[in-house]
Chain A
Amino acid sequence: MLKKRLIFTLLLQDGIFQLSRNFSLQAVGDIRWLWKHFAFHAIARSVDELVLLDVGRGSRASRDFARHVAAVAGGCFMPIAAGGGIRSRDDAFALLGAGADKLVVNTPLFTSPGLVEELAATFGSQCLVGSIDYRRGPAGTNVFYGNGAVSAGMPVEKAVRLAEGLGVGEIYLTSIDKDGTGQGYDFEVLRAVAGISSIPVIASGGVGDFDHFVAGMSLPNVNGAATANIFHFVGDGLREARDHLLAHGIELARWEAEFPAAPPRS
């Protein structure tokens, strides 16, 4: 049977990895630092999928991001979704050529729906993730794009239907309010979205401990649970999270703990 997914998200700005809290960014380090100081290969070997997002606030050079994707992808042996700043088919080709298997689009859902449709037609829906960010408001939820800066003027349910209609294959749903807080996913909204979406949902924003993953993944139609919180899951943290999820009856893939030893570099 098809398995659910434990996902790690890496946020990048100008080649530097970021920690995020309510979408405010704090620089952590570059890729060398990541592999060396966060035992990133332990994280990479413990997840079903990696999401790489360019969250740069200035104008993004997509070629540079593609290079960074290639640098990460080179040492990873699982599916990779990459996005942030995709504004053309060329941007998409660059990311796929760099080693990404899927594309992630956020702002284009609201500002360039034609592009989203074109990407779905060119690469297939299974290759396209619709990323939706939202905040809670007095009257419900409000969706934002442009790194959470611009209001889309609609609640999550409407944004999900919009994204489905444009041909994305899955929804990556992030609570801006919960992001980086470690308080757990916004379970109420997650459940509501999972209930109305006809495509799989990936939960994002708020994970602090293993039980948050379990809660999110126990919902039907929530196929993936993501975290970008690198500090919480350094070293063996994500491998332990996997074991915890499996012990709680969540169907995750299993693979051999021992990776073939890479031969020494000449």
Chain B
Amino acid sequence: MVTVVDFRMGNIRSVINACEYLGMPARASGDPEVVANSGMLVLPGVGSFRAAMRNLKGLGLAEALAEAVQVRRRPLLGICLGMQLLAEEGTEDGLTPGLGWVPGRVERFRFEDPGVKVPHVGFNTVRVVRPGALFAGLPEQMDFYFVHSYRLVCREEETVTGWADYHGRFVASVQRGNIAGTQFHPEKSQSNGLLVLRNFFASGGPDA
């Protein structure tokens, strides 16, 4: 059973659909006790870093996630904003501390050429540099669906498992022990995304 963390910001239904398609029982929950005791977690997210952290803290979910992820070391997959929240801080509307489990900060895409559109929206190619849990057995280059204006700038090279390019490279995926994240939406990336999700579920271990 995977718990999709519901902190009122994110396309929960699509993630649940993908889990169920893959035969992985899934539930959405915003209950800290359920989250803290979950065997496996997905943290989705669409919207503002600041609002997300406010919700996670206000709902007691930041603490619950810390219990599950840092103490019990259950596998966690952050998706899009969910991956960004793993960082030490976000820079949208001023500085906001993140969950702090991935070294780095979240910054807006900035381009000299005013013709380059932000957000970055559409399918783009990810170059996998370290397979880890998400890309085991998969090709080194794969296309996934992205929609984001901010990107993770990671201080620790080894934590980055995949890079993509949008007028310059940016972090597409990370993994640090039991914590993984994708800037792209695996639930919106056709077979490639389903294969990544399937890998994540397979990495869960017998208690998941």
Binding site for B on A (CB under 8 A): 1-3, 5, 45, 48, 70, 73-75, 77-79, 96-99, 101, 124, 126, 169, 199, 223, 252-260, 262-263
Is A97 touching B13 in the complex (CB atoms < 8 A)?
yes
Is B143 touching A99 in the complex (CB atoms < 8 A)?
no
| CA of A260 to CA of B21, assembled, Å | 9
| CA of A48 to CA of B195, assembled, Å | 17
Is B195 touching A99 in the complex (CB atoms < 8 A)?
no
| CA of A124 to CA of B166, assembled, Å | 20
| CA of A252 to CA of B142, assembled, Å | 12
Is A101 touching B147 in the complex (CB atoms < 8 A)?
yes
Is A256 touching B14 in the complex (CB atoms < 8 A)?
no
Is A253 touching B119 in the complex (CB atoms < 8 A)?
no
Is A1 touching B125 in the complex (CB atoms < 8 A)?
yes
Say what secondary structure dominates the interface of chain A: loop
Is B189 touching A99 in the complex (CB atoms < 8 A)?
no
Known: A77-B190, A101-B11, A259-B190. 20 other contacts (CB 8 A): A2-B123, A3-B123, A45-B190, A48-B123, A73-B14, A73-B17, A77-B14, A77-B18, A77-B187, A78-B145, A99-B14, A126-B119, A126-B147, A199-B117, A223-B122, A255-B192, A260-B191, A260-B194, A262-B22, A262-B23
Q: Chain B 16-34 against A: per-residue CB contact (8 Å), 1 yes, 0 no?
A: 0110011100000000000
Q: Beyond A79-B188, A260-B194, is A254–B143 a contact (Cβ under 8 Å)?
A: yes
B51 CB–A CB distance under 8 Å:
no
| CA of A109 to CA of B147, assembled, Å | 24
| CA of A98 to CA of B13, assembled, Å | 8
| CA of A255 to CA of B193, assembled, Å | 9
Is A256 touching B192 in the complex (CB atoms < 8 A)?
yes
